[in-house]
Amino acid sequence: MYILGLTTLGDSAAAIIKDGQLIASVEEERFSRKKHHAGFPYKAIEFCLKQAGITLAEVEHVGHYWKPWILRHKAMQALKAGLISPAMFKARADRGVAQVSDSYLGMFKHPKRLREHFGESNFKFHFLEHHQTHAASAFFVSPFDSAAILTWDGTGEDTTTLFCKGKGNRLEVLKRIKLPHSLGQFYSAVTNFIGFDMFAGDEWKVMGLAAYGKPKHYDFFREKVLKTNGNGDFKFDIKVLDHHLAKHYQFSDAIVKELGPGRKPGEELTEHHWDIACSAQKALEDTAIYLVKQIHEMTGEENLCLAGGVAFNSVMNGRIFHETPFKRFFVQPAAGDAGCSLGAAYFVWHQKLGKPRDFEMKHAYYGPGFSNEQCREALDTAELSYETLPDEELLPRIAKMISEGAIIGWFDGRMELGPRALGARSFLADPRRADMREILNHKVKLREWFRPLAPSMQEEHGREVFGVEHHDPFMITVIEVAEDYKAKIPAVVHVDGTARPQMVSRETNPRYWNLINEFKKLTGIPMLLNTSFNVQEPIVCTPENAINTFRNSNFDALVLENNLVVR
């Protein structure tokens, strides 16, 4: 039985499973080349069907990650906002009218869109609750038979935070927190206060900048903006900081009085902005830990699954790993809305159809892959000179180039799912070079100086590098680097002594593991610096994308499968 899962607003995506096994999962942005693509994922669906070797006629169920008719609570929140200020009401009303007319009502046309574009089919279409698809995306592909599940984001329908328990093939909803109380909207509003752009996904920048500041404004955020109580809840005070006004870079007198005016996009980033980022980050972390401890008390579970956009906050995840009672936790690589396509498919398979679980997500390589021949055709068309080498020659050569300072565009196998490159579409460099962060951020990636870079490392060296047993194949957790290792790998150690590792398994990605091993033979260091293969664009998908990025940016060599291009 084939089941298709869909995400159709921002970060649109598709996933397909066959008898409970994941065949393909990919974001639409990788094909459209538009970051955070919003709209029906035609190309992603086309890829999923092609990868499965079927037509839409063979799909029996389609799961969709949203129930478009749940509007009452949002409408009431807009009316309540009108009692606070006309501007606050207008910001919600303008957004709400556009969402209802363009997005929500449009969802009812999705079954028709599928049939018109991909052919007739008798599939059953399921509109599913957003946060429950988040929960399904985390638990049903996890290694756990039972777990506590916490999902948190800006909002889905009217819910912002969902407490669940997973057991076998069932999810049980325990508790909801609804608008306007939203960790995701709090963090997005801070993102725009610091002059970044929430619509571009700039929350990452706040997390990176936070490491350089001091929590001087922590008490203000915890006492006036993001407050917890004794009932396992939190309150986000929109009178002080409103997400919808922040979209337009409008802020209340209360927050301007405390923090000064919001930074305008493009203005200089000062130490004051670092401190705001640090304070907001710590407020988020402490609220999250409060909620995690609450769900532990509610469930008594030893395992924790997280999903939703807030689950991408890897610094927060590191504190959850170290400071909460859970012994194990799992976050899949597309924890944001794109992963809801995965969750929608598995929610139908398990929760709707009652099928048993027999799949575990051990890697993220569920996107398009290309043969050596296809790569050579692209290189020939681009009129680039290249060598085709067997791994026995290619991998030692690439490792040596990296050890001598080269930056490599590495294109190997099927593309990763999620926003983080995991050794399929990566820039690779030497983690020992203290200047490599500046080189990559300024000369290659063309982005801010404070953006961190991460290590891909052989998983068996985890305790050696971090001093604790920790398995993270998806680069989703920031943890402290062991003291004697910090000086050895300065390019991937944050200013606060932490790093965000990808633990590379010889089983799930043997070629990447072997490349790291060749580097270790030369240097004694069991890791490479890894950042996503893109420059102000979505991560590259095809050989043509990689060649285009190579031609338009400044790095030393391109590897397309077994084909090597040296600049």
Three-state SS string over 464-495 comes to HHHCCCCCCCCCCCCEECCHHHHCCCHHHCCC
Q: pLDDT at position 97, please?
A: 46
Task: Provide the CATH topology of domain 2-68+108-141+333-352.
Answer: Nucleotidyltransferase; domain 5 (3.30.420)
Those residues of the chain that have pLDDT short of 70 are 71-83, 88-102
Where exactly are the structural domains of the chain?
A: 2-68+108-141+333-352, 178-330, 372-566
Q: Between the CA of residue 169 and those of 334, 350, 353, what are the distances in Å?
A: 21, 5, 10
- Considering the domain 178-330, what is its CATH architecture? 2-Layer Sandwich (3.30)
Count of residues for the chain?
567
- Considering the domain 372-566, what is its CATH architecture? Alpha-Beta Complex (3.90)
Using DSSP, state whether 142 is helix, strand or coil.
coil
The tokens for 383 are: 């009129």
**Residue 2: closest CA among 51, 75, 68:** 51
Task: Say which residues have a Cβ less than 8 Å from residue 413's Cβ, sequence separation at least 6.
Answer: 365, 369, 424, 509, 511
Q: pLDDT at position 209, please?
A: 96
Tell me, yes or no, if the two domains 178-330 and 372-566 fold the same way. Answer: no
Element of type H or E holding 257: helix 253-259
Q: pLDDT at position 544, please?
A: 98
Phi, psi angles (nearest 5°) of residue 163: -100, 125
Three-state SS letters, 150-176: EEEEEEECCEEEEEEEEECCEEEEEEE
This prediction's pTM = 0.95
